[in-house]
Amino acid sequence: MIIAVDGPAASGKGTIAKALSRHYGLPHLDTGLLYRAVGIATVRMGGNPDDPGDAFKATGFHDALLDDPELRSEAAGGYASQVSVHPEVRSALLARQRQFATQPGGAILDGRDIGTVIAPDADAKLFVTARPDVRADRRHRDAMGIDYATILADIQERDARDSARSAAPLVRAADADLLDTSDLTIDAAVQRAIALVDARTRDSL
């Protein structure tokens, strides 16, 4: 069983995907980490995340980078959004993601193009979202020394960039169930996600 979980930054998709992983006993991949790794690697190499050539050179990063705490920073998230607009970068990371998705027994992947590009034939697809102000508030509570207005502006800029890019833009797949977490607790959002997946996969479970 393959479950695709897509959505914008701070929507709760990562938390939900991890909970689904525990519930169904399936391996989970946060595909955003791959792009964060490329972004960080680009900068560490002295490159520019907005330059497709520089970003592509960084796609050969070592797997050990995925465990680097810096990948969870706000800066890494911004770099990820920058490098992800480059078709060359997306193509370079495509095989790695599809290999994970098609492993025996299935998997859960979260990102921005899982249901549309990486695993279009997924058994269940969720598009997790929330209002920008709610997402900014969530990030603000976790961020140290960054004001709310700056975080909100960054989220809005990232949304625009992710949705407008020519390569695999952030869009809801036609057959994805919408899950708006704006007014839901974490537990309520997880239970709703499980119910949606169960409804989609009842015949295969």
Residue 197 is predicted with a pLDDT of 98
In a domain, 205, yes or no: no
In a domain, 122, yes or no: yes
In a domain, 203, yes or no: no
In a domain, 92, yes or no: yes
* pLDDT tens-place string over residues 142-165: 876 789 999 999 999 989 988 888
In a domain, 31, yes or no: yes
Residue 204 is predicted with a pLDDT of 53
Residue 104's SS3 state is coil
Residue 110's SS3 state is strand
In a domain, 62, yes or no: yes
| Structure tokens belonging to residue 53 | 């050539």
Residues in the chain predicted with pLDDT less than 70, given as ranges, are: 144, 203-205
CATH assignment at residue 132: 3.40.50.300
In a domain, 83, yes or no: yes
Domain total of the chain? 1
Helix residue ranges, H only, 84-167: 87-101, 132-142, 148-164
Which of the 8 DSSP states describes residue 84?
A: T
What's the rounded Cα separation, in Å, for the pair 126 and 110? 9
pTM of this structure: 0.86
- β partners of residue 66: none
| Structure tokens belonging to residue 116 | 């549309």
Q: What's the count of helices (H) and strands (E) in the chain, helices before strands?
A: 8, 5
The domain of 46 spans: 2-198
What's the rounded Cα separation, in Å, for the pair 57 and 174? 34
In a domain, 204, yes or no: no
Q: Which residues contact 12 (CB under 8 A, 6 or more apart)?
A: 128, 130, 138, 181, 186, 189
